Amino acid sequence: MLFYEPLFLTVFPAVYASYLLATGARARKWMLLVASTLFYLWGEPVFVLVLFASTALDYALSFHLSDPTRLARRRLALAGGIAGNLAILIVYKYADFIAQNLNLALAPLSAQRVPLLHLALPIGVSFVVFEKITYLVDTYRGTSRPAATFTDYCLFVLFFPKLLAGPILKYHEMKDQIAKPPAVEWSDFATGFLRFSRGLGRKLLIADPLGNFVNTVFAADPASLGTGYAWLGLGSFTLQIYFDFAGYSDMAIGLARMLGFSLKENFNSPYVARSMTEFWRRWHISLTTWIRDYLYKPLGGNREGEARTYLNLWICFLLSGLWHGASWNFVLWGAYNGLFLTLDRLFLRDALARCGTLISTGITLFIVMMGWAIFRSDSPAHLTTFVSVLFGASPASHALEIPPEVPCALAVGAAISLLPATPLYPALIRSYEKRVSMRALTATALVLIYVLSTARSVAVPFQPFIYFRF
């Protein structure tokens, strides 16, 4: 069930009204747990059983991860919990990828082919697994205590606003809100609804119109494209993936706020970054911090010399690429980002800092866009030809139909993405904070965006969020 589907927009108000009428934190907790379970059950009726079973295993193991349990037993419990969660990810997400590559490698030997499982990828499985591993590791480290009740831990795992595509949460940051869901105030509803409306607009009015054109460009033979169409398609995807994923984060944060919960931000104007290091501090913040805290630092971080630091960066981003999908283009995309983060530490970040805002932002955005070309291409052959077309290697000029909404979505998306890099942005923020009329105008605009987005969701076939496939 998607947040912008007519079904959700019809059912949620009734659920929300019942939640507001619930008396006491215990009643609110159970309502959220039941609603979250039904929400996920609607789209994943089989996997929800696996999810509950693995959640029960996590909860049982968490009581063996801290003192007074002996260290050897704690380590065994942690290893078992992490292995169990990774097994879910491997079976559902990577089993066929591994089998296909084994079959390819063994083909010259005429060996028997490894059968494929053809399992459907459960929505949000990568996000859920990362959160569950976080709970186990934080309990082992002593950062948090085991959940007070199994109900609390289930609600943390299944909390529906963030369930499908994050942001990735840490139990110790949510435990107080989970244990005692706060009463909803008027400011929670107003702030949350406006934030949800912003996300709805980002997804339906910018990302989806661009997505239709992006699909046309990347489905075509790249050799048949002209350079202009290739750049237009890549620019459209650059904005589509940002507004699609940031739109989901806005909706998740907004829905949670309407329920009285506060979630951390997941994006911070990433396309105004002046280096790749800064870009990754602004893009998918919850994943980047997860990689830093649960992979980069345990590998040694930057504490064991420059060579080890560069190796750790590469390992982290190769795995980050693989996390995004069971395909070699994602591994290549991870290696590409690892390369530029290494170059940042060597010289690139300092060189860009001396170039001024305009040049450094432009160069960083260009590097990011080349990365998105890798990310969106479905094969090395497609990528190689597409990149050559970008730089004018193909004389083809096959005309593609450009829907009239694409230039408008591009212009609005680019303006919103790059506005924080301009001197106008701080003035607008100060005006918003000081003037009631400015806040009223913003709220009115967001309500209008909600109405337009809802109308589009009814009239136009929906497109799933890009990150649902991860």
Q: How far is CA 19 from CA 83, 190, 253, 445, in A?
A: 37, 16, 17, 28
DSSP secondary structure letter of residue 181? P
Indicate the helix (H) or strand (E) that contains 228: helix 227-258
* Residue 104 burial class via C-beta count within 10 angstroms: exposed 0-12, middle 13-18, buried 19 and up: exposed
Distance CA 136, CA 62 (A): 6
Q: Which of 64, 324, 382, 398 is catalytic?
A: 324
Distance CA 265, CA 282 (A): 10
Tell me the β-bridge partners of 303. Answer: none
Distance CA 386, CA 217 (A): 10
Structure tokens at 187: 């400011």
Is 382 among the residues known to form the active site? no
What angle separates helix 47-62 from helix 125-141, to the nearest 10 degrees?
A: 10
Distance CA 375, CA 382 (A): 11
Q: How far is CA 57 from CA 60, 85, 288, in A?
A: 5, 10, 27
Contact between 463 and 208 (Cβ < 8 Å): yes
Tell me the β-bridge partners of 398. Answer: 225
Maximum Cα interatomic distance, the chain, rounded to a whole number of Å: 74
What are the two backbone dihedrals, phi and then psi, of residue 225, each rounded to the nearest 5 degrees?
A: -90, 150
Q: Which residues are catalytic?
A: 324
